[in-house]
């Protein structure tokens, strides 16, 4: 694969997965360029991380638009202008709507901190601990119209640390930061036009 794949990272939170992907791009482990970070939360820590890494940040707040359709039209226009090929969700806390899905068919990827289909939605680690499971994990999947329901690309199991949410979360994040870059690299190679 010669050309770097242009990606947009969508994030609403701390951005540790963004940082891991940005590092992987710089180190050449991921043959991609992060064209921009798209956030719906201008105060999120990912914005600081992106600025430090000199990656463009675009903050688009849904509340500034009358409808989800209008919000997504603006997002799509920005992505098209930046020639983005893939959308990589990394802690983006919003369901992708039909217009954005149609604009990037099978080209939106998500990472989720559980072994899907167990524990979809918010606070997956808390859900797993509350359920008393001994093993949870990480899933990377293509995004469809559902909540964490698209085709699974990769999974890895993580042992629950004695019902301890924080320590379990640490183990999960450590796995996420490796599995995401590796899965994306395989995906981009598989989809490259020779």
Distance CA(70)–CA(34), nearest Å, equals: 25
For ligand GRF, the closer CB: 5 or 21: 21
Binding residues for (6R)-10-formyltetrahydrofolate: 68, 93-96, 110
Shortest Cβ distance from residue 16 to ligand GRF (Å)? 3
Selected range binding ligand GRF among 34-42, 65-73, 79-87, 106-114, rule: CB under 6 A: 106-114
DSSP 56: -
136 lines the binding site for ligand GRF (CB under 6 A): no
Binding-site size for ligand GRF (CB under 6 A) equals 12
Q: Which of 112, 141, 173, 177 is catalytic?
A: 112
Cα of 102 vs its chain's centroid, Å: 18
Selected range binding ligand GRF among 12-20, 57-65, 129-137, 186-194, rule: CB under 6 A: 12-20
Binds ligand GRF (CB under 6 A): choice among 9, 111, 153, 160: 111
16 lines the binding site for ligand GRF (CB under 6 A): yes
DSSP assignment of 86-142 equals EEEESS--SPPPHHHHHHSTT-EEEEESS-TTSS-SS-HHHHHHHHT-SEEEEEEEE
Kind and range of the H or E run holding 190: helix 165-191
Pairing between β-strand 57-59 and β-strand 135-142 as defined by DSSP bridges: unpaired
Q: Are 105 and 157 in contact (CB under 8 A)?
A: no
Distance CA(151)–CA(105), nearest Å, equals: 13
Q: Helix crossing, 45-52 with 16-27: angle to 10°?
A: 20
176 lines the binding site for ligand GRF (CB under 6 A): yes
Active site residue 173: no
8 lines the binding site for ligand GRF (CB under 6 A): no
Site string for ligand GRF, 76-95 (x = CB under 6 A): --------------xx----
Sites of contact with ligand GRF (CB under 6 A): 11, 13-17, 90-91, 111-113, 176
């Amino acid at each position: 694969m010669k050309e770097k794949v242009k990606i947009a990272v969508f994030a609403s939170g701390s951005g540790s997965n963004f940082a891991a992907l940005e590092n992987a791009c710089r180190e050449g482990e991921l043959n991609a360029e992060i064209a921009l970070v798209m956030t719906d939360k201008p105060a999120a820590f990912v914005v600081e991380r992106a600025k430090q890494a000199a990656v463009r940040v675009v903050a688009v707040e849904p509340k500034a638009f009358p409808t989800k359709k209008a919000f997504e039209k603006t997002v799509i226009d920005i992505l098209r202008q930046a020639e983005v090929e893939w959308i990589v969700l990394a802690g983006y806390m919003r369901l992708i709507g039909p217009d954005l899905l149609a604009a990037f068919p099978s080209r939106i990827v998500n990472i989720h901190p559980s072994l899907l289909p167990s524990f979809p939605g918010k606070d997956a680690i808390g859900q797993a601990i509350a359920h008393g499971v001994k093993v949870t994990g990480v899933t990377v999947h293509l995004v469809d119209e559902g909540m964490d329901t698209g085709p699974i690309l990769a999974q890895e199991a993580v042992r629950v640390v004695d019902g301890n949410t924080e320590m379990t979360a640490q183990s999960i994040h450590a796995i996420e930061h490796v599995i995401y870059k590796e899965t994306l690299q395989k995906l981009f190679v598989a989809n490259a036009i020779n």
